[in-house]
Homo-oligomer: A and B are copies of this chain.
Amino acid sequence: MKTLIVYAHPEPDSLNGALKDLAVSTLEAAGHEVRVSDLYAMEWKAVVDAADYGPSASSPLKVARDSGRAFDSGTLTPDVLAEQEKLRWADTVILQFPLWWYSMPAILKGWVDRVLTRQFGYGVGEYSATKYGERFGEGALAGRRALLSVTVGGPESHYAARGINGPIDDLLFPIQHGILYHPGIEVLPPFVLYRADRLTSEEYRDAAKAWQERLLTLETTEPIAYRRQNFGEYEIPALTLKEGLESTGRSGFGLHVRS
């Protein structure tokens, strides 16, 4: 495998840092190639602005259109070009981050906002009566697999089916389906560590072992069975799921996973 780890935590001596280090050493020891984007160490610019698009930035700025023009004309900034090159190189992408306020830290959201430009992350493909671009199951990043490795402060019950925060799969859906599957990346079930601030050293040893097992079985892990957009299950162009395809009781985000 060629694995890109995008890592977002300000403290190297943190649980997230340890899981990132363990991923690097475990994958390399198994003969895989690994590259790491350590966003804090890189002082990653988190904020989209006109400077991102160089001479392709129009006035007034149009973020979607201008990002696509900058992509097409090669005028994206070197930091963004470097990340796009890493994504092209990789067949496997791991996002390692703490869940802050039920989503990714701002620095990682800024990586998504800036790197996944139009023509690279979205807006590709033909729009016709049978196809609405290449998205959700196809796209510029098809052929890759991704995995979220997430640390969570609270206990698992708070993120269970009836948990007050909502099910973890639903909280991660905008990332897994919306950010990763949208440009064509298959998404493996996430690795989630709960009560991250309170792990005993024994619990950490168990977690590290479970993480290593996940890493060493990535190639044979089945991705989440999200439905593909352009293959008969959705009305085009409304992109609503056709009636009768879901299992009883499925609704909301769950509709978009095959039974």
Contacts and interface: CB of A to CB of B under 8 A. Distances in A.
Number of copies of this kind of chain in the complex: 2
Interface in A169-183: 170-171, 173-175, 177-179
A130 interface: no
Interface string A39-66: 0100000111110000000001111110
A110 interface: yes
A166 B136 CA distance: 13
A178 B101 contact: yes
24 contacts: A10-B47, A10-B48, A11-B63, A13-B60, A40-B49, A47-B106, A48-B100, A48-B106, A48-B107, A62-B197, A102-B174, A105-B113, A106-B106, A106-B110, A106-B112, A158-B238, A163-B241, A164-B234, A165-B239, A166-B253, A167-B252, A170-B173, A251-B251, A252-B253
A256 B166 contact: yes
A153 interface: yes
Nearest to A40: B49
Interface in A231-259: 234, 237-241, 249, 251-256
Interface magnitude class on chain A: 35 or more
